[in-house]
Amino acid sequence: MKKFSTATLVFAFATAFGSLAAPAAQAAASTCAFLPNAPDQHTVVKGDTLWDISGKFLVHPWCWPQVWDMNREEIRNPHWIYPGQIVYFDRVAGRLRLGQPTGGANGGRLSPQVRVAGTGKDAVTSIPSSAIEAFLTQPLIIEEDELKGTPHIVAAQEGHVNLGKGEKAYVAGDLKDGTSFQAFRPGTALKDPVTKQVIGYEAAYLGTLKLQRAGKTPDEAHSFIVVDSKQEMGVGDRLLPVPPTPIMNYVPHPPEQPVDARIVSIYGGVDNAGQNQVVTINRGSKDGIDIGTVLQLAHFGQTVVDKGAEKTGWFGGKPTVKLPDEQYGTLFMFRIFKNISYGLIMQVTDTVNVGDYARSPE
């Protein structure tokens, strides 16, 4: 990864953003406008995110990578801004800068401050990590062929039907040298709202297990201990290796190709959602969605009868008019599968419903 500069604060925009020279990124750059009532500065406090901070200055908060004079490599893990620091609006250059007060007890002017890579422990994150932590390490979407050959529970501890924390499970199958696994149970079939075809299965996450003793022969079961349990496990439940710890900071960006997706489901099985809730869309990696993709949410415009128009046609009926699709929010994609992706609702002015549109930002 490219290191942060410790010698200079500002890069020329054309140079700093050169790594995002794709047409989609160039088009997005022209739409990054500052709010007419943007403040002169903001003091960073614990709990702030880069999205929150940028939302105080920008019409579209997801544009923050473009106004910090940083390229995508530099902001992929932005451990360079901490509580107590000051973000100020350079109105002449149209950029956000990081500075510190100088000039006496009353603050005075702001002086530039170099970017320094810190430990990251208290650094400001891109988006609210607490809202998606549980979704990053659990196998949410299971492809049909992903179940083939996976280890599975064949028996519970003697006298037990279901398994909870601290109990022993016996597992059959090839562990492929793994020692830590997650248990899941294939659950709800997710259908594309447009084609009505099943595009995946939302898995029920049950908990994690740790290998206690591997089987000595191919026909001997492995012994596992349940480390934690979200739901009771039982015979037939499947195991997948615990994935690596995810990176918690993401770079928001428009998709590199046009995306016209629909909301498939709202996590938890409810009918509508609001800010900081998680939804799935019917597009994934094969459609160009990647981590950090930002989409606009919109309600479908209904078709209404134009009662004020003259009657037309053979039967003298009134013509119909389609109302425009109404944009009402932003969706931040954070976990991607082949046909389905999970997104965090960042900001909305209306409720999110299954079947709503999620499209490339205009």
Mean pLDDT score of the chain: 77
Q: What is the pTM of this model?
A: 0.69
Give the integer Cα–Cα distance in Å for 65 and 340.
26
Summarize the confidence of residues 24-28 as an average pLDDT.
42
Helix (H) or strand (E) holding 336: strand 326-336
Distance CA 232, CA 318 (A): 59
Quote the CA–CA distance of 203 and 188 in Å, as a whole number.
7
Here the tokens at position 7 are: 């010698």
pLDDT tens digits for 96-118? 887 654 444 433 343 333 333 44
Q: What pLDDT sits at residue 49? A: 84
pLDDT at 361 over 70: yes
- For residue 35 the two structure tokens come to 């709010």
Q: How far apart are CA 14 and CA 27, in angstroms?
A: 14
Q: How far is CA 350 from CA 53, 272, 275, 317, 327, in A?
A: 22, 10, 9, 34, 9
Q: 308 vs 115, 118, 312, 323, CA distance in Å?
A: 62, 65, 12, 15
Q: Is 121 exposed, middle or buried (0-12, 13-18, 19+ CB in 10 A)?
A: exposed
Contact 68, 76 (CB under 8 A): no
Residue 251, classified by CB atoms within 10 Å of its CB into exposed (0-12), middle (13-18) or buried (19+), is buried
pLDDT band at residue 296 under the 50/70/90 scheme: very high
Kindly list the distances between the CA atom of residue 181 and the CA atoms of 13, 171, 208, 326, 339, in Å, as whole numbers in the listed order: 45, 11, 6, 44, 24
The arithmetic mean of pLDDT across residues 240-267, rounded, is: 82
Mean pLDDT to the nearest integer, 314-341: 84
For residue 291, the number of C-alpha atoms closer than 13 Å in the C-beta half-sphere is: 14
The full DSSP string for 284-328 is: -GGGT--TTBEEEEEEPPPEEE-TTSPPBTTTTBPPEEEPPPEEE
Domains and CATH numbers, the chain: 13-130 (no CATH), 138-241 (no CATH), 260-359 (2.40.10.410)
C-alpha to C-alpha distance for 224 and 214, rounded to whole angstroms: 8
Q: Is the pLDDT at 12 greater than 80, yes or no? A: no
pLDDT in tens, 220-250: 999 999 999 888 899 999 998 987 766 556 7
- Work out the angle at residue 3's Cα, subtended by the Cα atoms of residues 126 and 16, and round it to the nearest 5 degrees: 70
| pLDDT confidence bin for 313, thresholds 50/70/90 | low
What tens digit of pLDDT does each residue of 49-89 get? Answer: 888 888 899 988 888 777 776 555 555 555 567 888 888 88
- Residue carrying the six token digits 């029920």: 204
Three-class HEC string of 234-265: CCCCEEEECCCCCCCCCCCECCCCCCEEEEEE
